């Protein structure tokens, strides 16, 4: 194979983040299907059928058993974040949690039903599947980490622009335990920067050297981090690189792909108009479907609320007396205010001075029962009334108090853009970040909220719903 052929072959294995996510899903599914086969073989071998014979499959295996590979993928949803998938320790934790949640759900169903329905919940089959799926998935994920975190299998990237925008991207990349690509260096036309380091990466040339540097270093992608007008020679160099098969990516696009949020610190003033007027307009079908899902989800949530209401009410009364519920004004879509309903989790004089405060970890204002309710997000169950009334959605940015919205929009660019959609009980920012307790953290949450508003689709709504239980069972609330 000649040199150009070898370069092309290597590029096929230098996968982008979205391609890696697809590879992870395919690999996990194949491991789950293999686990299904192993569990059927073991289960059949322990019974009088002496193996997974046709008679055994017809008489003993319920139809739902064949859907276990798909259920396993749903339980693994947290590990389809590529950054988590690159971390072996977090991979072990994620697979262990998936197995534990799967077995717990099975046991709840098993002990809830009496015979004869219980006979359709085979213990040997389910247990052997979970064990096999956990072992095979860990083996596959270990192989994935060994191969795709190796430098030769990472995309080789050249960054154009070592100014504020480029430095912002580099700072964010440096916070990641495993880098998303192999950055060979920075191109900048400021000759004073040549040979210097910017956030740990060297400026290796100017725009007239792009072609030579790309060829010499087998670059597969160029990220352009330049604000304002681009020089004609740089533009032509990028066109030449693209014609030779190099991927050209804007910094904002790379930032969104790598971090799942929008870089508000590097956006231009008209970004809101360009993005939300042209790109983020949801279709009538999406809005209608989302509203139907909200109504259905609210009815389920209110059913759970009514079942838990007597127990929670008694606990709150014993711990801190009346009242049971807490109401507060929040800003909804378009800045229209509404009254939110929650279980009371704080002492009655928590904000006696009327000054709004951030919710901190182990907040001293919270009661003993309140801390548990907030950790598990049970305190938010009454908000399903707000969802049913259309003031909130199941999914959207977290609702904030009008006073805080006014304060944030004076300190954080584009903050009011989050009011373009209804606030939600859960959301992209909630499952990826959680609570904010400072202006900087609020800015980071806003980046997640704007990413959601820009990219909201039914598939993204489903992904957020699937990831929400991990937030609840992980006790991430405050």
User: Which residues have C-beta within 8 Å of that of residue 402, sequence separation ≥ 6?
Assistant: 329, 330, 331, 335, 337
Q: How far is CA 440 from CA 43, 48, 149, 413, in A?
A: 54, 64, 30, 12
Q: What is the pLDDT of residues 200-212, one digit of tens each?
A: 999 999 888 898 9
pLDDT digits (tens, 9 = 90+) for 232-243: 788 888 888 888
Low-confidence ranges of the chain (pLDDT < 50): 1-2, 5-6, 8-9, 118, 475, 477
Under a CB-based contact definition with an 8 Å cutoff, are residues 20 and 86 in contact? no
pTM, to two decimals:
0.84
- Domains annotated for the chain, with CATH where assigned, are 17-148 (no CATH), 155-259 (3.40.50.20), 284-473 (no CATH)
Specify the pLDDT at position 347.
76
pLDDT of residue 160: 94
Question: Would the CA dihedral through 127, 129, 133, 136 be positive or negative?
Answer: positive
At 475 the pLDDT is 46
**Mean of pLDDT over the chain:** 85
Token reading at 64: 């739902």
Rounded to an integer, what is the distance from CA 118 to the centroid of its chain?
36
Position 71 scores a pLDDT of: 94
Contacts 24+ apart (CB under 8 A), 124-127: 124/42, 124/43, 124/46, 125/39, 125/40, 125/43, 125/61, 125/65, 126/39, 126/65, 126/68, 127/103
Please give the Cα distance from 251 to 259 (Å, whole number): 12
Q: Which residues contact 130 (CB under 8 A, 6 or more apart)?
A: 99, 102, 103
């Amino acid at each position: 194979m000649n040199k150009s052929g070898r370069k092309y072959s290597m590029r096929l294995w230098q996968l982008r983040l979205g391609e890696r996510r697809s590879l992870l899903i395919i690999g996990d599914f194949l491991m789950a299907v293999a686990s299904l086969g192993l569990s059927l073989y073991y289960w059949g071998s322990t019974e009088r059928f002496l193996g997974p014979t046709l008679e055994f499959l017809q008489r003993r295996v319920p139809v739902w058993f064949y859907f276990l590979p798909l259920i396993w993928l749903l339980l693994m949803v947290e590990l389809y974040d590529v950054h988590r998938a690159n971390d072996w320790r977090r991979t072990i934790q994620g697979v262990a949690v998936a197995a534990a949640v799967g077995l717990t759900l099975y046991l709840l169903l098993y002990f809830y039903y009496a015979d004869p329905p219980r006979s359709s919940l085979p213990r040997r089959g389910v247990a052997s599947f979970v064990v096999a799926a956990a072992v095979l998935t860990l083996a596959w994920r270990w192989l994935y980490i060994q191969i795709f975190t190796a430098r030769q299998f990472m995309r080789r990237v050249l960054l154009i622009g070592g100014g504020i925008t480029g430095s912002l991207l580099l700072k964010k990349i440096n916070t990641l335990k495993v880098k998303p690509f192999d950055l060979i260096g920075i191109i900048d036309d400021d000759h004073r920067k040549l040979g210097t380091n910017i956030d740990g990466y060297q400026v290796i040339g100017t725009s007239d050297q792009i072609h030579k540097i790309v060829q010499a270093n087998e670059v597969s992608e160029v990220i352009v981090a330049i604000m304002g007008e681009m020089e004609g020679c740089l533009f032509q160099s990028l066109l030449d690189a693209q014609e030779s098969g190099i991927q050209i990516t804007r910094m904002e696009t790379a930032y969104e792909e790598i971090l799942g949020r929008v870089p508000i610190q590097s956006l231009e003033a008209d970004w809101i108009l360009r993005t939300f007027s042209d790109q983020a307009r949801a279709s009538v079908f999406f809005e209608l479907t989302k509203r139907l899902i909200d109504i259905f989800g609210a009815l389920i949530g209110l059913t759970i609320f009514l079942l838990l209401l007597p127990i929670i009410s008694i606990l709150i009364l014993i711990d801190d007396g009346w009242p049971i519920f807490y109401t507060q004004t929040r800003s909804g879509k378009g800045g229209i205010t509404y009254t939110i309903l929650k279980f009371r989790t704080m002492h009655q004089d928590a904000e006696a001075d009327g000054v709004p405060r951030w919710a901190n970890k182990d907040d001293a204002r919270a009661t003993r029962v309140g801390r548990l309710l907030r950790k598990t997000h049970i305190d938010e169950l009454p908000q399903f009334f707000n969802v049913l009334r259309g003031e909130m959605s199941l999914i959207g940015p977290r609702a904030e108090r009008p006073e805080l919205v006014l304060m944030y929009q004076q300190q954080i660019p584009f903050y009011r853009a989050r009011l373009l959609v209804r606030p939600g009980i859960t959301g992209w920012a909630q499952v990826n970040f959680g609570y904010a307790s400072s202006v900087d953290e609020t800015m980071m949450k806003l980046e997640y909220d704007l990413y959601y508003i820009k990219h909201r689709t039914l598939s993204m709504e489903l992904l957020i719903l699937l990831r929400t239980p991990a937030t609840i069972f992980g006790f991430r609330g405050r």
